[in-house]
Structure 1
Amino acid sequence: MGELAEKTGITKRTIDYYTNIGLLEAERSTSNYRYYDIKMIDRLQFIEQRKQQGLSLVEIQHQLNITPYEEIDVQMLRIKMQDLEHDVTSLLEKMNKQDNIRIETIKKNVSPESIALMQSLLLLIHN
């Protein structure tokens, strides 16, 4: 995230916010650091240009063909939450059976989508 901020002149806080609302996409390392694809520089510049033109973030999301977070289907979130709960329960059962399981193994069993969903849900809960 620091490199992206340096290359674009956009603050880390803004990049973090854009990532949390789905405007930017980041990969997570095993140590939970965010890594941004080179394409995100262009996307970030696009977002900033549209903001300067007076567009709202929701309008920018539409231009990027991203479903704004305000329009996310609640029923779909419930289904994903149930899937996530199942994943966590399954992991806990595995942990109870195998005392020597390592954190890397757990991380391999949790999909990046599940991690992103957990982060999104935490944001929704805290707002």
Structure 2
Amino acid sequence: MHIGEVAKLSGLSTRTIDYYTNCGLFPVERSEANYRLYPATVLQTIERIQLLKKQRMSIAEIKQILVTNENLETELLMREVHEEFDCLQKKLARLEEQLKDAPTHLKVNIHKTLETRLLSIASLLTLM
């Protein structure tokens, strides 16, 4: 979203959005033409900022709260992914036990499929 769209949807001026951006209250990327691009989540962040400002919090205090919340959300997501990964590893071990007596070609196909899924989850974990 461009700054004008954010302003229109949030009811804030582009100057206020620019100020919040310069204060580091929300992330911004740049387009090839060097325009600022805001994620859709910026509208939720603006709502939070407005609520915190009503509580007479400073920009520095608001920034700290936003950073803390973001870190907490990331940590919770990572825990969830790790739990899912552990669950899949246990499931894989159970399936391997059940496949001991299965034909070799079937074991190879199933093992490859499960291994591919686990590797994709492991690669997601490294990105976090």
What TM-score results when the alignment is normalised by the length of structure 1?
Answer: 0.50
Larger relative contact order, structure 1 or 2 (CA cutoff 8 Å, min sep 6): 1
Q: Which has the larger radius of gyration?
A: 2
What TM-score results when the alignment is normalised by the length of structure 2?
Answer: 0.50
Higher helix share: 2
